[in-house]
Structure formats: C-alpha cells, structure tokens
Structure 1
Amino acid sequence: MFVPTSLATILLLASVVALGPLSTDMYLPSLPRLTDELNASVDQVQITLSIFFAGFAFAQLLYGPLADRFGRKSILLGGLVLFTAASFGCATATSIEELILYRFLQALGACGGPVLGRTMIRDIYGPTQSARVLSMMGTIMALAPAVAPIIGGYMLLVFNWSAIFIFLGVYGAIVTLMIFFKIRESLQPENVNSLRPSAILRNYGELISSRVFLGYTLCCSFTFSGLFSFLSGSSFVLIDFFGVPEKNYGFYFTAVVLGYMTGTQLAQRLGPKLGINKMLVLGTSIATIAGGAMLSASLLSIHNLYWLISCQVVFMIAVGMVMPQAMAGAMGPFPKMAGTASALLGFTQSAIAAVVGLIVGHSHTGTPTVMAASIAAMGTLALLSYLIIIKPISANQPN
C-alpha cells in the first residue's frame, strides 16, 4: 500500500481524476472522421461529447453520498470497472446511436475518478493544504491530456477510431488494479454519513443554500465550460476551417494544455501568498480578457490560427489558476460531507459544460465565431460569479 501523503498516491489519484479529460481529448481528432464512418451529422457527433458530460454530471450526485456512507475506495473501484467495460463497448459500436449509448455508460463509470479523487485529497490534506495539492495534481494530470490528442491523431494513421477506445479500456483496467492493491480507504469513521434519502437531501440542501459553496462552484464551472467550448469546437475549427491535418491537431492541443499546466504552477507558487480569493479574481479576469480577444478577432474576420491558439493558451492559464482554488474553496467548509460537496460541484460543472457543448455544436457555422463567443461568455460569467457572490462575503472567508 502507498503512504496516503506520498507522491505515489497523488500520482495514482491524478490518474483517476484524468479519466474525464482522457475520455474526451484522445478521440477529439477523430470527430470529423466519425461523421463519415458512422454516417452521422456534426450535431450527432457532438452529442457523443455532450452525452458524456450529461452522464458525468448526473452520476456524481450518486457517487458523493455513496462514498460518504460506504467509503471512497469501494465506490471508486465500481466506477472504474464500469468505465473499462463501457470503453470496450465504444470500440465495438457500429452506429452513432450505439456510440452515444456506450459513451453515456462510460461517463457513469468515469465520473467516480474526479469526484472521489478530489474527495480523497480533501480527506488526506484538509481544507487548507488541499488547494496546493489539487494544483500539484492538476499539473501532473495535465500531462495525460497533453499527449492524448497526439496519440489519438497518430493512432488514426494506422488504426480506425475504435482503437482509441480499446486503449482507454486497457488504461481503465490497469488503474483499477492499482487502486485495488495500492490505495487505502481515506474516509474516517467519524465522518461516515447516513444514506437515508432525508439525510442526503438535507446535505444537498445545505450545500445549495451556502453562498460560499455556490460562488466557488460557479467560478469553477464557468471556467471549465470555457475549456469545454474549446473541446467541442476546436477539432472542427482547426481541422475543417483552418485545414490542420488530423495527426497535427494534438500538437496545437498540447500547447493549450501547457497553458493549463502553467496556470497550475502559478497557483502552487502564488496561492499560498495571495490566498484563494485573490487568485480567483486574477484568474477570472485573465479568462475574460483572453476570451474577449479571441471573439473580437473572429468578429472582425481576422481568422488567424496562431492568434486563436494563443488566446486559448492564455485562457487555459486562467483555468489552471482558478479551478484548483475554487474546488478547495467549495469543499473546504464541509469535511463531514466532502464526497457530497465534490459530487455537487462536479455535477454543476459537468451539467453546465454539457449544455454549453450542445449550444456550440448546434450553432456551429463552420467558422471560429461560435466557439470564441462561448469561451468569452464563460470567462465573463466566471468573473461575475466572483464579483457578485464571493467578493461580498470574502471578508469572512480564509485567505
């Protein structure tokens, strides 16, 4: 067994938190090809992304209370087994409808990784140190989605799109075995919660009524939805509009992920000095400016690939600064229901992202404008969430 506070534990938990990004980023280069091979429209192919986040969102509402009652490890293992089986199911899909179904099941399993990975970090490190560790974890797990589109793009040169899901299935099986043999249960007996519906509803009610939880959760959700706007539209914009070869798409995506890693590094260095709230206002302001710059260029018909990617890199620096801090701020005050808090945060984040993804897919015009408008809107809403909800009560919150 790994020591709970060891780097090995952080690395392994990062690998399960990364299930969500891996499940979307690796097959992004194949989206335009799926329209031909499965005889599907762009809207239908976009649904394979949005349905994943819809399933990801709703399942988290169950994972949290179950983990607060039965422990983190057993519930996480159940999710990993489902993820692995559904990934192999995706590989066998012969129609877009089958792929959508298996993607939904894959999401139900995958969402246990982020919910319970974050929760176990909160269990181990407490409300203050967890922000630093979540930032460190963000840097580590960003390595996977940084290389995932590159791997996916080059796999398409040799195999068809189903090989990507076989890879994910094998990854899920390996992580399942590692968690089973190497990770200890982190839920303390005194923090075990009842699974009675009344107790679950009471806990969710307490979280929803908390301005602290709501403010941090919305900051996290809107910045993430800006990222998801890019995930939903970038393959069509880069490959179809700008003519980027499938095999090269991953390199542009890697530049964007490096922006996120830079943001998490800044959060690790500046977070302890500035505190959660100052990091949030700085990060959301940067996101608003970057999104606005991308949209302005598109509205002026200045369609420059390198400008678009540069704006997204800056936006992702902001995402890396905001998300770990906002997660820690949302879960910090609720040690006895950290799993439920993590689940509701994840549900809100994924639900908003799913809706945004559907809008981007349905409204796509073949140009970068819709994607850029969505990214700009999400950055602005994140900043407003801080100014309207968090700032008025920040004097009562820890810095």
Structure 2
Amino acid sequence: MNLHQGAVVSAPLMSERRVSVIGALLVAIGPISMALYTPAMTEIVRAFGTTEAAVKMTLSFYFAGFALAQLICGPLSDAFGRRPIVMIFMGIYVIASLIAVFTPSVELLIFSRFLQGIGAAVGVAVSRAIVRDLFTHEQSARIMNLIGLILSVGPAVSPTIGGLMLELAGWHSIFLLMLGFGFVVIIVTKFAMVETAPDRDPSRASPRGLFRSYSKLFRTPYFVGTALIMGLTSGTMYTQTTVLPFVLMDRVGLTPTQFGLGMLVQSGSFFTGTIVVYFLMRRVRSSRLVPLGLAIVALGSLALFAMLNIMPPTFLSVMIPSATFVLGIAFVMPYMMTASMAPFPHMAGAAAALTGFMQMTSGLVGGLICALIGDPVVGMSLVVPAMGLLAGLIWLVWRRLPEPKVQVRP
C-alpha cells in the first residue's frame, strides 16, 4: 500500500534532524507531564488527606484537557501558523504548572492539571503538522520514527526522576520541573522553529471552518481507520498510566523510586522498538512493519490477560507483557501517522489534532473503564488486551480500503 507523494519541497525550511528534535520536544511535554507525576500520586493522596479516586481525577482531567484542546489548537495552527499557537498554548501550560506548585487543595490541583493538558495538547498537533508541511511518504515515516526514538528517552527517565524528586524534595518539586520544561519549549519555539504552515487562512478557525475540516476527515474511512488503529494501540499507554501506580505500588509493593526505575522496562522496550524500526526501514517499506507490530501487540495482549488472571500480580508478570505490547506500538506508529495526514497537506493541523484526540480519548475511556471495574489488576488485564486486539481487527478491514487522493483544499 503506497502513500501519495503529495508536493515535495525541494529545499525544506528545516532539515530532517531539526524537525525531528523540535518535534520530539513538542510531543514529549505531554507524556513527560504524565510520567513525572505518576510516582507522586500515592503521596498526594496522603498530603491532601483525600482518596485515590480524587487523585486519579487529576490524570483524568489532564487527559480530557489534552484530548479536547487538540481539536482547537490543530486547526488554529492551520489558520494562524504553527509558531504563534505553540507560544500561546505553552503559556497556558506554564501558568497551570505555577498554579500546581502552590495549590492548597486537591480540587485546585485537578483544575491545574486540566489546564496543563490544554497547554500540552499543542505539541502533538503541531509537531506532526510540521512534518507533513515539509515531508511525506517514507521520508515522513522516517522522521516520525526519529521523533519516537527521541521521545522515548524523556518518558523513560521521567518516572525515575519523578520518584527521586519526590523523595528528595517533595511532590511540589515535580511541578517546578514541569514549569522549567515549559519555558524550554517556549524558548526553542521562539529561536529555533521556522514557520511552516502553508496558505494560512483565519477562516479555518471559525466554527464553520472547523466543521468543514473535521467533517471531511470523518467522511474519509481511510483516515478514520488510521486514527482508530493509532488510538487503540498507543492509547493503552495512557490507560496504563492511570492504573500502573496502583498495581505496582499498592499491590506489588514497590516504592515510588522503585516504580520509577521499573517503568524503564516499558519505556526501554519502546526505545528498542524504534531503534529496530529505524534499521528495518532502510530495507523494507514502513507499511510492511505494521502487521508485524500488531502481531506483537496481540502477543502482549494475550500474555497480559493470561498472566494477570493466572497468578497474583508481580513486577515481571505485569511489566513483561506490557513491554511486549509497547514494543509492537513502535512498529505501528511511523507509517500510520504518515498515512493519516498524507492526503491532507492543507489541513495537516486538523488531521494531526484529530488523530491525537483519538489517542487521548482512547486512553481516557480505557482509564475510566478500569476505574469503574474498581480492581486495577482486573481492569488492566481486561481493558488493555481488548484495545490491542480490536486495533488488529480494524487494521484487517482498513488495509482493504482505497487510498484517497491528496486533498488540495480543506
């Protein structure tokens, strides 16, 4: 299955390497803001004298803000440009982080996390749109993989850093670190990012423009399929973010520092997968890696279901299947992200935003279902495998769909 080439810029405004680094920085702020925070969740329960359910809401509201805001910031970047929208939304993130540092109650913490999600949402939409602005086809898939490679380092070490900071300086220091990260993104955007949005048109930010863009995307089965496949696979990582702290710390008995170190297994698996994909894409087309990745996801899904239902949870019985699942995601994402945006060069922000929304919404729904189930072990053993297997079934249908022509107007 070949992607349409679209218009290839002979002399791109930014190099592949530069786009990869800036894109990874923008994408990373979302998962890093979650991964840094997770070791502190049980401590925050004690600090505010509240319940686990209330603290879980800080993640749920973060997911909600992240998911919903993408639907706005993506088209806004199409209308007004990538750089100004990044600056505005990262300003929201910085303010929210400052509120979280000085929050006197869990209710205000929930609100600040919601604002953080809104601010961080700009990273996913804009980074992918920048790639589509400048590159397409296998070159785009290669950059998406490089972004994933660089991105895997941040979330890999973030739980470890969060756990160490929690024990050394308390949970407030975690939000101070997020505050600093927000300023770094603003500085890089100001001095290193080149504006790439083609044919900026403010009418695209109007309600009618938003409806026109998203209705076109939803009427394209090829796009909807890519969004669902990405959402159901990578969304499981967000789902696990809400339950793993309570599985590994409350049920298995890990300390926050041990939990942070233990998460290196999952992040290291994704890092390994992106390295393998990097070398494989030199020999085979990225589209051929998708079924292999989904097969690995299916293996991890079945292993997670079996191991958590046969024996009491242990670190290995939880993390080995989880790491297998994440390894498969690394094979799936580069091609599927490229395929989702290739037909829509003039509304890449909207396309990137909608795929990101599907990913976050899948994670949010998965986390909520786990919360409704009550037992985090049972929830993880049922919800995560179901999402992975459903993604594989959708791909079997999607691969037979006709590839749409490149759209020249939203």
- After TM superposition, the score normalised by the length of structure 1 is 0.94
Alignment of 1:330-341 (within 5 A): 330-341=340-351
Partners of 1:294 and 1:355 in 2: CA distance: 19
Tell me the alpha carbon deviations over residues 192-225 of structure 1, each in whole angstroms, 9 at most, x when there is no partner: 8733432321221110011110111111000112
Choose from 134, 137, 161 the match for 1:124: 134
Partners of 1:127 and 1:243 in 2: CA distance: 46
Q: Give the match's secondary structure for 1:4.
A: coil
Contact 1:17–1:113 (CA under 8 A) maintained in structure 2: yes
Tell me the alpha carbon deviations over residues 376-398 of structure 1, each in whole angstroms, 9 at most, x when there is no partner: 1111111011012x122268899
Q: Structure 1: which amino acid aligns with 2:306?
A: S
Partners of 1:324 and 1:40 in 2: CA distance: 41
- Establish whether residue 234 from structure 1 lines up as the match of residue 254 from structure 2: no
Name the Cα RMSD after superposition: 2.1
- Establish whether residue 318 from structure 1 lines up as the match of residue 315 from structure 2: no
Choose from 367, 375, 378 the match for 1:369: 378
Q: Structure 2: which amino acid aligns with 1:378?
A: M
User: Which residue does the alignment assign to 2:400?
Assistant: 392
Q: Give the match's secondary structure for 1:189.
A: coil
Partners of 2:252 and 2:230 in 1: CA distance: 30
Q: Structure 2: which amino acid aligns with 1:93?
A: T
Report the CA distance shift for 1:7/1:99 in structure 2 as closer, same or farther (over 3 A): same
Contact 2:199–2:346 (CA under 8 A) maintained in structure 1: no
Q: Give the match's secondary structure for 2:14.
A: coil
Q: Structure 1: which amino acid aligns with 2:191?
A: F
Alignment of 1:300-311 (within 5 A): 300-311=310-321
Partners of 2:163 and 2:299 in 1: CA distance: 31
Structure 2 stretches lacking a partner, 5+ long: 1-11
User: Which residue does the alignment assign to 1:221?
Assistant: 231
Moved more, 178-187 or 6-15: 6-15
- Establish whether residue 70 from structure 1 lines up as the match of residue 70 from structure 2: no
Tell me the alpha carbon deviations over residues 27-60 of structure 1, each in whole angstroms, 9 at most, x when there is no partner: 1111111111112221211111111111111111
- After TM superposition, the score normalised by the length of structure 2 is 0.91
User: Which residue does the alignment assign to 1:96?
Assistant: 106
Partners of 1:82 and 1:43 in 2: CA distance: 26
Choose from 369, 372, 387 the match for 1:359: 369
Structure 1 stretches lacking a partner, 5+ long: none
Q: CA deviation at 1:326?
A: 1.4
User: Which residue does the alignment assign to 1:15?
Assistant: 25
Report how many aligned residue pairs link the two structures: 395
Alignment of 1:191-230 (within 5 A): 194-230=204-240
Q: Structure 2: which amino acid aligns with 1:371?
A: M
- Establish whether residue 86 from structure 1 lines up as the match of residue 86 from structure 2: no
Choose from 370, 391, 395 the match for 1:382: 391
Partners of 2:105 and 2:201 in 1: CA distance: 46
Q: Structure 1: which amino acid aligns with 2:392?
A: L
Identity rate, percent: 30
Q: Give the match's secondary structure for 2:279.
A: helix
Moved more, 211-220 or 11-20: 11-20
Q: CA deviation at 1:191?
A: 8.1
Report the CA distance shift for 1:172/1:348 in structure 2 as closer, same or farther (over 3 A): same
Q: Give the match's secondary structure for 2:194.
A: coil
Report the CA distance shift for 1:278/1:145 in structure 2 as closer, same or farther (over 3 A): same
Moved more, 294-303 or 334-343: 294-303
Q: CA deviation at 1:14?
A: 1.0
Contact 1:192–1:336 (CA under 8 A) maintained in structure 2: no
Contact 1:193–1:336 (CA under 8 A) maintained in structure 2: no
Partners of 1:190 and 1:89 in 2: CA distance: 34
